[in-house]
Amino acid sequence: MAVMTLRASGPAPAEDVWSRYVSPACWPTWSPQIRAVRVAGERIAPGMRGEVVSLFGATARFVVECVDEERRQWTWRVRLGPVHMRLRHEVFPQAVGSVTTLRAEGPVLALAAYAGLARWALGRLVRR
């Protein structure tokens, strides 16, 4: 397993960014590689299971491991066929706007393929 950490900062307040993270219905609005999210519930919670449908039609299954509302952190495991990844997201306020980080663990080739899309999505997430 390899580890990749990405970071993006932008003008959106941390509360707004966190709200976009915890609402799966919002994911396609800032994550251009996501076409749809199939999940029961409006807000992520530990144990929540669902599916993310990519623009290319591939479906990845996921389970949310933990959510810390106070610290604005959450972790989930995603599986697309034989590829498994663990993703940890955090949101931090700054003087103006916010910073979000993504720590991804998985096969090195999967992380390399995902890095560009993830950077793009994080940048869109922290915009107003």
Tell me the average pLDDT across 98-126: 97
- What are 113's two structure tokens? 């393929």
Give the tens place of pLDDT for each residue, 52-81: 999 889 999 999 999 999 999 999 999 999
pLDDT score for 82:
96
Report whether pLDDT(84) > 90.
yes
> What integer pLDDT is reported at residue 59 of this predicted model?
97
